[in-house]
């Protein structure tokens, strides 16, 4: 198995859905494991299958998506593993509960396979595996139409940044990022494309921390400049 292989754990009680998802997502460098319930998915993890991302249906017998989410967020090896919850439910209480428990992305069914693929690809680019990415916690300011907002830059990758904030931001909006140790990087203008594309939440110290994936198409030379600043 290649060290660069990415692992996806799919959990759904509908075998046809699992088969369709696996067929669509399969490609070289991707290892996929199926589970028909939350508890079966948990058994895969306990047996040593450490996923880079978990995709789970919400309502399943023998362990729901929330049961799996609770396990993932409390198991030492998967504390920060991205988990996508899929559900046909429009109940806001269920959605809020999943997000409060640490769901990375909540997607309402029906969803296109191309959207699911895009969300998984973005999740696997986030700084979630300490052995693969260098973690950081760098203070910064986001400058936008509403003024300045303090954030933490947690990771710089080939396609963007991962930011954390104690206040919600507008997904889809571009910002100018000022690194507080002296380097300033323009996220609108210096890069050809920048957008906050997804939001996650987690609880810390009695409050909510908002996480954002920001996609960036780096202009020539600017990625090296940004990485040196870290």
Whole-number Cα distances in Å, 197 to 38, 53, 154, 215: 28, 17, 16, 7
pLDDT at site 215: 61
Q: Where are the domains of the chain?
A: 6-123, 138-228
Residue closest to 197 by CA, chosen among 126, 113, 142: 126
pLDDT at site 198: 66
pLDDT at site 71: 93
Which CATH class for the 6-123 domain? alpha beta
Identify the residue with better confidence: 7 or 155: 7
Token pair, residue 18, equals 């699992």
Listed ranges 35-39, 61-65, 90-94, 142-146; the one with the highest mean pLDDT? 35-39
Mean pLDDT of the chain: 75
pLDDT band at 67 (very low <50, low <70, confident <90, very high): very high
Identify the residue with better confidence: 144 or 41: 41
Mean pLDDT in residue range 157-173? 72
What kind and span of H or E run contains 204?
Answer: strand 193-204
**Within 13 Å, how many C-alpha atoms sit on residue 66's CB side?**
11
Angstrom distance (rounded) from CA 229 to CA 184: 9
| CA angle 149–163–199, rounded 5-degree value | 95
Residue 206 has pLDDT above 70, yes or no: yes
pLDDT band at 53 (very low <50, low <70, confident <90, very high): very high
Which CATH class for the 138-228 domain? mainly beta
Angstrom distance (rounded) from CA 230 to CA 226: 7
pLDDT band at 56 (very low <50, low <70, confident <90, very high): very high
């Amino acid at each position: 198995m290649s060290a660069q292989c990415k692992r996806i754990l799919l959990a759904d009680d509908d075998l046809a859905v699992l088969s369709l998802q696996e067929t669509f997502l399969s490609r070289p460098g991707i290892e996929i494991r199926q589970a028909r319930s939350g508890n079966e998915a948990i058994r895969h993890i306990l047996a040593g299958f450490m996923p880079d991302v978990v995709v789970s249906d919400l309502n399943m017998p023998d362990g729901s998506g929330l049961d799996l989410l609770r396990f993932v967020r409390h198991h030492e090896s998967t504390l920060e593993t991205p988990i996508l919850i899929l559900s046909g439910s429009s109940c806001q209480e269920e959605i809020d509960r999943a997000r409060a428990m640490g769901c990375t992305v909540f997607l309402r069914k029906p969803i296109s396979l191309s959207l699911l693929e895009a969300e998984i690809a973005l999740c696997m680019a986030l700084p979630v595996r300490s052995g693969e990415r260098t973690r950081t916690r760098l203070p910064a300011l986001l400058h936008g139409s509403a003024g300045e907002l303090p954030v933490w830059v947690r990771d710089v990758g080939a396609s963007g940044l991962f930011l954390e904030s104690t206040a919600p931001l507008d997904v889809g909006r571009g910002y100018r990022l000022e690194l507080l140790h002296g380097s300033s990087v323009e996220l609108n203008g210096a890069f050809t494309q920048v957008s906050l594309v997804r939001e996650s939440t987690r609880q810390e110290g009695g409050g909510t921390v908002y996480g954002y994936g920001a996609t960036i198409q780096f202009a020539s030379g600017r990625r090296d400049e940004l990485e040196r600043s870290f």
